[in-house]
Structure 1
Amino acid sequence: MMSSVPTMDLRYFEPSEQLTGNSSALRTANRQNGNYHGDCSLPNNTGAGVPEDQNTNLWITGLPANITIHELLAAITHTGRVRSTVINQPTGIITTAAASISFFNREDAERLYLKIMRGRILLRGQFPLVQWNRNRVGESAVPPYASRVLLIAGNPEIVNQTFLNDFFAKKFVYELDQVIDHGTVPGFGGPISRLEYRFGSWRSQASSARLALILELKGFLLVQYGPDPCAE
């Protein structure tokens, strides 16, 4: 592993449009130069052309007003790999929160749908309601190991929450489910720090984090996808 700590000025990975507010006119160029991080206009992301019976996106309502990503995802174990999670806070006369949760495949989405319909999900004494999201999301053509969870190991000066949280914040907008510290172990070139980053979403979060780490911090750390606890 390299010994000198890199600065935050590295720009091999361009910040996401959600973070910068840049025009979508750059999307085509970004795809061609290798800095593409997810295009929300693609049919797979918007639902255009996705048959109803292939939709993997659920709309869950009646959630506690201040529910967190961590609390929500902790309640849906034994379902499947989560593709994305978005929580909508209460607005106006609506006093409860709602959430959009999509999966990598339809079968997993159906599993959570049935759990909620049968009253097997309880959050702070409340049974949420569920329906298929009108913003349809089809099954993702990604490797079977793709996940919202990243396992990161490397130089303790880099692989720590302070450095990585700041690094990610400069690259894209993200929400964390949980960060687990797996401790430090001896390595050939010095100690190796190990962290497990559980993002709220794979799309535009874990996927972007993995790409940014590979492009900008190669030599300081290693990163790979880890198992999604929602699938266990």
Structure 2
Amino acid sequence: MRIKIRKRAQITIPGEIMQALLLKEGDELELTIKNRVICLTLVSETETKQRQKVSASKRESRVKSGMMPVPLVFLCFGGFSVYCHGVTMGVASKKAKELLALLLLQNGKPLSKKVIAELLWPNKMPQKSMACFYKTNQYLKNIPGFNEVLPLINSGGALSLDMSRIYSDINEFSQLLRQAPTIENRRRMLLLYQGRLFQNETFEWLSSQEAYFDMEYLEAAEWLIREYKSHNLIQEAQKYISLIFEE
């Protein structure tokens, strides 16, 4: 069976192989190269969970070890963690987390409350979805610690986050992306990317955003590899080649 390499070096695994190997959506495959042969290995659920634990530990230590200049910290790559003054803040409501995720991606820009309601409750009538929105908004305001910081800004029919009181790795990643590429800022982007955007969350609108950040991460890594190779820094280039394959 032949597989054609398409634009942006993406490979689609044929359905026959998916069925033969009993693969399903969400499974992780590890890619290795041996003697110019590409090998795909199914990663066990245990290995996946272990990687997630390590990633979460790195994120938490990064927040607690540094003096953050803002009270609220959102780490969104490789999971979704919220910290208030360095302490983990639990958000039990799935819809409240989804609302925060949606607003974080706006980076301070107001988002219509009607649009939010439609995205979060697509199967409800407009009146009911708006009622759910106001209930979820109030839930966030009542969270201890969160209500003291009050990062939510209501402006007429829209809602946004006060980014002057917030740090998010999404925002930093996006700021670095807008800069002219340098070894320093591309390395920082790769360091920020601890895993997929809001990993393990099941927001219905997430896939396009997830794909966008995945692609920007890969392009940053590819830029670094080319840059290191152009300076004959083969060992450094190989490190980032290995990093891509580990993902």
TM-score range with shorter-chain normalisation? under 0.3
| TM-score using structure 2 length | 0.27
Higher relative contact order (CA 8 A, sep 6+): 1
TM-score by length of 1: 0.28
User: Relative to total residues, which structure has the larger helix share, 1 or 2?
Assistant: 2
